[in-house]
């Protein structure tokens, strides 16, 4: 049974009513495939059946020397990455779309900077907003860590553990150039605005289509009631709530389902009358 205040999105992923951000991996996979994958789920699909890689960059470099690299990935991708390169290309396009949205001021992204590309170091770092210029600089998504790195010349926008160019990327990290070793960990994307970005894309699983479930609409009603209390000055529009709801309750809430949920709670909260657009 789901916990109170928790809404199921897909598979094992849940969003709480007070969640305001999604991870970068979830954002990119929603944009690319209409399917929110956690960083661990994404890594497993790209890498195949191998377990998650928690090794440091130095350990990964040692592994490259110990095992050798013949230029061909040793595992077969799964899920959205059965055709691995096509899937990676979709992720790269999603990352570019996200950056453009940040540059336009319609999306907010935040992360923790580390000069040593270390998750342990990033845990102690301050959370900072990442501007479009920062995203243009740190434009390489590392599937192994879920982090963003600088994209060297000739390097792909999305890198993963067994990428033939991954060896060169790890060598660059120990080249003595500090710029090759830094990055942003724990990158998160604000949920507000994400619905509009999804709707503007060409993915097949755009939120809002299909049918609502009774539980999805009930969860939306509960979420709207709490969201209205958090917005006493009525600064947010109905469309803003709709876009966020369709992300939060992905695959369980349609546009019509949102309207029913809105009509059930908005009048009592002093919002618009049933059926109105604002």
Q: What residue ranges do the domains of the chain occupy?
A: 19-194, 207-269
Residue appearing with tokens 């990964």: 60
Label residues 44-80 b or e (16+ Cβ within 10 Å = b): bbbbbeeeebeeebeebbeebeeeebeeebeeebeeb
Cα distances (Å, whole numbers) of residue 17 to 25, 78, 173, 202, 249: 20, 31, 40, 28, 10
> Which pLDDT score, from 0 to 100, does residue 148 have?
96
Torsions phi, psi for 114 (to 5 deg): -135, 135
pLDDT in single tens digits along all 278 residues of the chain: 333 333 333 434 556 667 889 999 999 998 888 888 999 999 999 998 655 555 666 676 666 566 555 445 567 889 999 999 899 998 998 999 899 899 989 999 999 999 988 899 999 999 999 999 999 999 999 999 999 999 887 788 999 988 877 666 666 655 666 667 899 999 999 988 887 787 766 444 444 556 788 888 999 999 999 999 988 888 888 877 887 888 788 778 888 889 899 999 999 888 875 444 44
Enter the pTM of the model: 0.66
């Amino acid at each position: 049974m789901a916990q109170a205040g928790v809404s199921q999105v897909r598979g094992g992923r849940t969003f709480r009513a007070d969640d305001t951000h999604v991870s970068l991996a979830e954002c990119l996979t929603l944009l690319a495939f209409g399917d929110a994958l956690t960083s661990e789920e994404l890594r497993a699909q790209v890498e195949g059946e191998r377990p998650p890689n928690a090794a440091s960059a130095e350990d990964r470099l040692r592994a490259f020397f110990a095992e050798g690299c013949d230029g061909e990935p040793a595992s077969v991708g799964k899920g959205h990455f059965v055709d691995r390169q096509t899937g990676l290309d979709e992720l790269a396009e999603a990352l570019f779309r996200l950056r453009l949205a940040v540059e336009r001021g319609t999306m907010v992204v935040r992360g923790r900077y580390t000069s040593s590309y270390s998750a342990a170091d990033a845990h102690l770092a301050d959370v900072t907003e990442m501007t479009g210029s920062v995203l243009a600089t740190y434009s390489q998504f590392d599937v192994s860590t879920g982090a963003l790195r600088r994209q060297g010349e000739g390097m792909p926008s999305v890198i993963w553990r067994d990428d033939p160019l991954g060896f060169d990327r790890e060598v660059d990290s120990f080249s003595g150039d500090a710029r090759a070793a830094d990055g942003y960990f724990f990158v998160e994307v604000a949920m507000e605005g994400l619905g509009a970005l999804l709707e503007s894309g060409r993915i097949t699983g755009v939120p809002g289509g299909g049918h609502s479930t009774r539980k999805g609409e009930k969860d939306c009603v509960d979420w709207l009631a709490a969201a209205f209390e958090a917005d006493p000055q009525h600064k947010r529009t109905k469309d803003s709530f709709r876009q966020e709801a369709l992300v939060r309750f992905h695959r369980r809430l349609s546009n019509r389902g949102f309207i029913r949920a809105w009509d059930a709670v908005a009048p009592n909260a002093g919002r618009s009358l049933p059926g109105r657009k604002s």
